[in-house]
Amino acid sequence: MTVRVLFFSVLRDVAGAEEVPVKLVPGATVADLLGELFTRWPKLQEWDRSLLIAVDQYYAKRDGALHENAEVAIMPPVQGG
């Protein structure tokens, strides 16, 4: 299955892209996706403890299941100003 990953804020710089398609095995979870992303972009793992993740515009936990064509947003922590 393929999911669409969107990177926000400084994570765009880390990944070098705003959006990428990622192929995963059927039944993959958010944690599986993160493992794939950390393999592609090791510096992204530095943000691991504070990442916010949304699947189809709803915040998701790492054990959340993904589905074909899911939109997964990967965001740094919210910052105030």
- What CATH number matches the domain at 2-75, 3.20.20.80, 1.10.3720.10, 3.10.20.30, 3.40.250.10? 3.10.20.30
- Residue 36, classified by CB atoms within 10 Å of its CB into exposed (0-12), middle (13-18) or buried (19+), is middle
Q: Which residue has the tokens 């993740």?
A: 53
Exposure b/e, 11-35, CB count within 10 A at least 16 = b: beebbeeeeeebebeeebbbebbbe
pLDDT in tens, the chain (81 residues): 999 999 999 999 999 999 999 999 999 999 999 999 999 999 999 999 999 999 999 999 999 999 999 999 999 987 655
3-state secondary structure of 36: helix
